[in-house]
Structure 1
Amino acid sequence: MAAIMEAVDARSENGWGGAARIDAGHVESLALRMVAWPSVGGTPGEAEFAGRLQELLLEIPYFRENPDDLRIVDGYGDPKARNVAALVRGRGRRTIVLAGHYDTVAVDNYGSLRDLACEGFALRDALVAELSGRERTEQEEQALADLLGGDFLPGRGMLDMKSGLAVAVACLERFAADPDRHGNILFVATPDEERESRGMRAMRDALPSLAASLGIEIAGAINLDVTSDQGDGADGRAAYAGTIGKLLPFAMMVGCGSHASYPFEGISAQAMAAGVLARLEGNADLADRDHTDVSPPPICLEAKDLREGYEVTTPERFWLAFNWLYHAMTAEDLFRRFADEVRAGTTDAVTRFAAQSEAHSRRTGRKAGAVQPAPRVLTVGELRARAADIVGADFEALYADEERRHAQVDNPLVASRLLTDWLVGLARIVGPAAVVGFAGLHYPPSRLLDTDDDRSLREAIDGVRAELAAEPDRAVVWKPFFQGISDMSFLGQAAAGRDVVSANTPISRLVDHPPADALRFPVVNIGPWGREFHQRLERVHVPYAFGVLPEAVYRIARIVLDRP
């Protein structure tokens, strides 16, 4: 650590290798320029962004002189969007990656101001005028004060996360201007982070051959994604030693329909779903935890009766899909806990309904309805095996045809629900039963480990943190896990084999297939902070994003690269 601090002190005195400090106004202008290029996921703007970024990078003399160090890597999926990989070389093979995504969420929530959503200063003026002219919520009061105070700048993607991209570009420029640079900085800009990380997964898969062709060895990466802080930034100015994992487990209830006048002749799939929802929704006891952190509990994203028409009967099929974030347990542990809760919730519902049937029978003097058995719980893997037994040799072709029918369904929950419903019919499942599986891409958690490269990156960050600690409004804190879903789940992660997730995800495009030679290196997140990203009042904290952060990221990179 002492050696790290000596390096920090030496470079602080001399502008980090003799180069001028990064100009905050220049970083802001880069961010404004990129925000002005709309890049909503799945739109032509997203597809065009890589070419525009390539043109911007070619304005840097280094890339005009070394065009082979600027590469385009195709992403996965359709419509096609591309990754940009830009390398500035110094001496040696040691390399640090600066990474970020350029796609954004839609601009519809700006309402009448949607045409200004990508125009930072014009949007700020319009928001100030609009908020000033009416009654405001407490949240809007804070937004108005932020915008009038001058320290926050709005815009779609301004916070999430084109300010981070601007930081990376500025660091590349600074590095290229230093004739005494050691190592290399590789900037990676990817599409599709907001949906299925198809850009970063393609980049991860291409990275082994790309690194070999460039002659570099990656020692670590800094992801530049954003954090939200409703206070003074003390929580938002953070370095994250890992990222949280995400799974989307679902349960499809299969009940026994009955006429509404004779409810106890069956069991409603909706009642079974209510039993499951009561056990899972926001259940703090199910939140993943260890000595470092506590993840958010599972929360329901979708609850649907699968009937489309009106009938005076109880629903036979009902769908629940949950967001479950985790960091310490395994995917197998999470799926087992989910199945146990579904089994307990559906059993509780059937037991309660049977008791109501008996009570109703005593009041009317008529015979109670049939007692339903305890519900079965099947995994998607078991459901597929049952359907294959019934259909025979044609099953795989039939399944592939059905999946192709839903290939253009962009919503993973909808596509998963449709295919699972089809499988339930094909497998002739009768209720009461429940099918459990996964309805989305698995985002694995990551964390710093106890390896040389991991320790090197951590020590470099600690050195810069120590320098910033003297100024409370610039101080950066360590946090164990980035709480948002991000490309960190795939960047620098080692390959994983077929597991419980791939075996129980009905939609094949949602199953990740990392290559056996995927590179492993440490990744942290250090990005801008602001408020309300994805919302119409999305705004970045300007002094930190464009002043403090670029210098901090650059210094961390140089410490890592200067290590022998």
Structure 2
Amino acid sequence: MGHLQWGTPEALRALLCELVSWESRTLTEGEITFPYKVQEKLGKLDFFKKNPANLSLHEVDLGRHFVNAFYKHPEVKETIVLISHFDTVQTEEYGDLEILAFQPEQLTKKLHERKDDLPEEARIDLESGKYLFGRGTMDMKMGLALHMALIEKASMEEWPINLLLVTVPDEEVNSAGMRAAVKELVALRDKHGLSYKMFFNSEPSFSQKPGDERHYIYSGTMGKIMPAALFYGKETHVGEPLKGMTANYMASFLTQLMEWNPSFLERDLSEETPLPVSLQQKDLKLQYSTQTPYRAAALYNVFIMKRSAADIMDIFEKVAEEAAIKCNESYKAICQRERMEGVGEVQVLRYEKLLSYAVGKFGAELVEQIKRGVQANTDWDEREKSMRIVEKLMIQCQELAPAIVLLFAPPYYPAVNTSSDPLIIESIKLLKETAKSFKEEVSQVHYFNGLCDLSYVQYKDDSDGWTSFEKNTPVWGDSYSIPFDDMLQLQAPVLNVGPFGKDAHQRTERLHIDSAFIQTPFMLERLIKSMMEIPDGELKEAP
């Protein structure tokens, strides 16, 4: 038997630093080249030299690919899917140290000269020598490194279980990578007659509050959905302000009611969702003029546990109707004070209603033409395109104004939770015991409190609640879609176990060295071996 490249803490640390040095910020050239480098690196393992077809790249979009590396045991159908993402967020916040953001060893050294610039908790962690700093160290290239090491070991030792490593781009923006991978997971299952035993992710363990040093494992992930609104008022000249109604005025009423609105709060298994906040609010004027802004847009972030898209749209509509009443009352009082007629009452309508009105008014072909025109603009992202489609339809249907049009903007992450699954209950028990051998305590969280690609497996929806998303998402089917049918076929429990780290998406992003290179690798190996029906005596003891 050959020797393991990534079998020691030192080798694993070197692998992580190499993965981090391959810069792969979302929507940069690095995100396009990264999967080729991973493929080349894994291709050096004996197993993939003998089975090159088991290591493949698959197209996502915009020149981006995901990687499948499939360790297949000849007699086994049971398969664990190891999911990770390789894109990272941007790095401007590193300032003049930005060139070191992807060199963890050098950055960590350099920060010792800048200790006084760091927040206190980060400075203490730096001085302890227990952390490695850098973009992607924690979120989430360490997860990928752990999965690569598992594939290597399983293939060398011929573990009687299949491991499918899937690493994807774009988790930080639209999860295009994972949405594309879902189809391939179904195809691979059918081709090899596999049975998926678990969908396993290694996103890092996030502290639940400042100063929290506990290591968490997650048996589910929160969902996220983005209700949005297009406000269409009535234009006028600033010299005659009451002959119109600005979209900004209308928007202020809805944003006041949406921000931190408790009617969106969900509780499950003694955990609760963060309250909603606005993620963007702007008017859609493309240049300055003394014409008043009569089109504006707002995006709101809503976390979900049990609710479907249909449930959220119903709540959102109620809130918008309340906002419209407040806006109309306030506006009416001003008109009376100024002895003006006004431009009428603001109405609330869903995008699906606007769409069928527009099709009825000037035909489906013109509506498609409007959508195509918006889609052709490569400078606009999915959210901007969503708003612009609604805006262009409203320009053709101004008799509906003033109006608040409700829609969904991408991305949508369904929530998933398998805390009650017997395999998950067993696995968590084993992981807690294993952590104790390091004198560490591991705590279970039922819903991962960030976004996670596990949202696209294990989907359940008895009420077709997702159709509300499809009908009210203007870019649906053109530049954004979710493979709900395929997701329904991927029914296996989910678990997220990753290394401990802090401050993802900040310049102080850092990874706990012992957790990453000693404890988590041991826990993962122990967990997978527990699913292989191997006599326990063959498990080596904790180091």
The two structures have a TM-score, normalised by structure 2, of: 0.90
8 Å CA contact 1:90, 1:183 repeated in 2: no
- Among candidates 224, 233, 247, match of residue 225 of structure 2: 247
Shift of 1:113: 1.8
8 Å CA contact 1:31, 1:158 repeated in 2: yes
Question: Hey, what's the Cα distance between the residues in 1 that align with 2:6 and 2:295?
Answer: 62
- Among candidates 362, 366, 386, match of residue 391 of structure 1: 362
Partner of 2:457: 491
Question: Hey, what's the Cα distance between the residues in 1 that align with 2:344 and 2:306?
Answer: 36
- Among candidates 506, 509, 518, match of residue 479 of structure 2: 509
User: Which letter maps to 2:376?
Assistant: R
Structure 1 position 519 matched with structure 2 position 490 = yes
Distance 1:88 1:536, change over 3 A: farther
| Structure 1 stretch displaced more, 313-322 or 326-335 | 313-322
Say which SS state the counterpart of residue 323 (structure 1) adopts: strand
Listed as ranges, the gaps of 5+ residues in structure 1 are: 1-18, 362-367
Question: Hey, what's the Cα distance between the residues in 2 that align with 1:495 and 1:286?
Answer: 19
Say which SS state the counterpart of residue 267 (structure 2) adopts: coil
Question: Hey, what's the Cα distance between the residues in 1 that align with 2:244 and 2:374?
Answer: 32
Distance 1:460 1:449, change over 3 A: closer
In the TM superposition, what are the counterparts of 1:11-26 in structure 2 within 5 Å? 23-26=8-11
- Among candidates 101, 104, 114, match of residue 120 of structure 1: 104
Question: Hey, what's the Cα distance between the residues in 2 that align with 1:79 and 1:182?
Answer: 36
8 Å CA contact 2:55, 2:67 repeated in 1: no
User: Which letter maps to 2:294?
Assistant: E
Structure 1 position 34 matched with structure 2 position 19 = yes
Distance 1:305 1:72, change over 3 A: closer
Shift of 1:317: 1.8
Shift of 1:492: 4.2
Question: Hey, what's the Cα distance between the residues in 2 that align with 1:308 and 1:21?
Answer: 53
User: Which letter maps to 1:31?
Assistant: L
8 Å CA contact 1:205, 1:518 repeated in 2: no
Question: Hey, what's the Cα distance between the residues in 2 that align with 1:184 and 1:308?
Answer: 54
8 Å CA contact 2:81, 2:164 repeated in 1: yes
Partner of 1:154: 133
Question: Hey, what's the Cα distance between the residues in 2 that align with 1:330 and 1:401?
Answer: 29
Shift of 1:263: 4.0
Structure 1 position 340 matched with structure 2 position 318 = yes
Say which SS state the counterpart of residue 510 (structure 1) adopts: coil
Say which SS state the counterpart of residue 414 (structure 1) adopts: helix
Structure 1 position 537 matched with structure 2 position 508 = yes
User: Which letter maps to 1:168?
Assistant: H
Shift of 1:557: 1.5
Structure 1 position 467 matched with structure 2 position 434 = yes
Question: Hey, what's the Cα distance between the residues in 2 that align with 1:310 and 1:467?
Answer: 62
Shift of 1:148: 2.5
8 Å CA contact 2:54, 2:68 repeated in 1: no
User: Which letter maps to 1:279?
Assistant: L
Listed as ranges, the gaps of 5+ residues in structure 2 are: 536-543
Distance 1:227 1:61, change over 3 A: same
User: Which letter maps to 1:52?
Assistant: K
Shift of 1:125: 1.9
Structure 1 position 288 matched with structure 2 position 261 = no
| Deviation sequence 1:381-409 (CA, Å, 0-9, x none) | 11111111121252354134223323x23
- Among candidates 150, 157, 163, match of residue 178 of structure 1: 157
Distance 1:26 1:490, change over 3 A: same
| Deviation sequence 1:243-270 (CA, Å, 0-9, x none) | 1111111111122345545544443322
Shift of 1:430: 4.0
| Structure 1 stretch displaced more, 546-555 or 412-421 | 412-421
Distance 1:393 1:299, change over 3 A: closer
Structure 1 position 316 matched with structure 2 position 301 = no
Say which SS state the counterpart of residue 394 (structure 1) adopts: helix
Shift of 1:233: 5.3
8 Å CA contact 1:254, 1:432 repeated in 2: yes
Distance 1:88 1:115, change over 3 A: farther
Partner of 1:275: 253
Structure 1 position 456 matched with structure 2 position 423 = yes
Partner of 1:85: 69
Partner of 1:376: 347
8 Å CA contact 2:386, 2:474 repeated in 1: yes
Shift of 1:322: 0.9
8 Å CA contact 1:88, 1:172 repeated in 2: no
User: Which letter maps to 1:456?
Assistant: L
Say which SS state the counterpart of residue 177 (structure 1) adopts: helix
Distance 1:85 1:177, change over 3 A: closer
Distance 1:545 1:296, change over 3 A: same
- Among candidates 292, 295, 298, match of residue 276 of structure 2: 298
Distance 1:51 1:462, change over 3 A: same
Partner of 2:538: none
Question: Hey, what's the Cα distance between the residues in 2 that align with 1:410 and 1:373?
Answer: 33
Say which SS state the counterpart of residue 72 (structure 1) adopts: strand
8 Å CA contact 1:205, 1:515 repeated in 2: no
Name the Cα RMSD after superposition: 2.6
User: Which letter maps to 2:346?
Assistant: P
Shift of 1:529: 2.3
Distance 1:559 1:300, change over 3 A: same
Question: Hey, what's the Cα distance between the residues in 1 that align with 2:534 and 2:359?
Answer: 57
Partner of 2:94: 110
Say which SS state the counterpart of residue 182 (structure 1) adopts: coil
Question: Hey, what's the Cα distance between the residues in 2 that align with 1:306 and 1:563?
Answer: 62
8 Å CA contact 2:88, 2:135 repeated in 1: yes
Question: Hey, what's the Cα distance between the residues in 2 that align with 1:239 and 1:192?
Answer: 23
Shift of 1:309: 3.8
Partner of 2:386: 416
Question: Hey, what's the Cα distance between the residues in 2 that align with 1:77 and 1:157?
Answer: 22
Partner of 1:4: none
Question: Hey, what's the Cα distance between the residues in 2 that align with 1:537 and 1:378?
Answer: 44
Question: Hey, what's the Cα distance between the residues in 2 that align with 1:49 and 1:20?
Answer: 20
Shift of 1:449: 6.4
Question: Hey, what's the Cα distance between the residues in 2 that align with 1:20 and 1:256?
Answer: 67
Structure 1 position 546 matched with structure 2 position 531 = no
Question: Hey, what's the Cα distance between the residues in 2 that align with 1:309 and 1:42?
Answer: 27
Distance 1:467 1:80, change over 3 A: closer
Say which SS state the counterpart of residue 296 (structure 1) adopts: coil
Shift of 1:556: 1.4
| Structure 1 stretch displaced more, 281-290 or 240-249 | 281-290
Question: Hey, what's the Cα distance between the residues in 2 that align with 1:258 and 1:410?
Answer: 27
Distance 1:196 1:410, change over 3 A: farther
User: Which letter maps to 1:89?
Assistant: H
Question: Hey, what's the Cα distance between the residues in 1 that align with 2:423 and 2:5?
Answer: 26
| Deviation sequence 1:400-438 (CA, Å, 0-9, x none) | 4223323x2353222222222111112234432110001
